[in-house]
Amino acid sequence: MPKRFRLTRRFNAAMTEDGYRRLRRFAEAAGLDEGEALSFVFEHFDSITDNEALTHRLRLFNSDLDARKR
């Protein structure tokens, strides 16, 4: 029997406009709502990310973060 999908946690999250638009686009393409799409991404994080590319992108994002907060 398949495991029932329950959304048991809710949290406030601040996102950039670009990040939210990308989340909505992904959710729509996958036939999910935004919460389900986020659950999918984090439940399968290791299998859908390339660790080397992730490290590089995170470094770039962090270097630009202070300027984006202003």
User: Sign of the CA dihedral 37, 17, 29, 55?
Assistant: negative
Query: Residue 36, Cα to own-chain centre: how many angstroms?
Result: 11
Report pLDDT for 13: 85
* Residue 33 tokens, joined: 């709502």
Give per-residue pLDDT as tens, 9-37: 888 888 999 999 999 999 999 999 999 99
Overall size of the chain counted in residues: 70
**pLDDT greater at residue 1 or residue 11:** 11
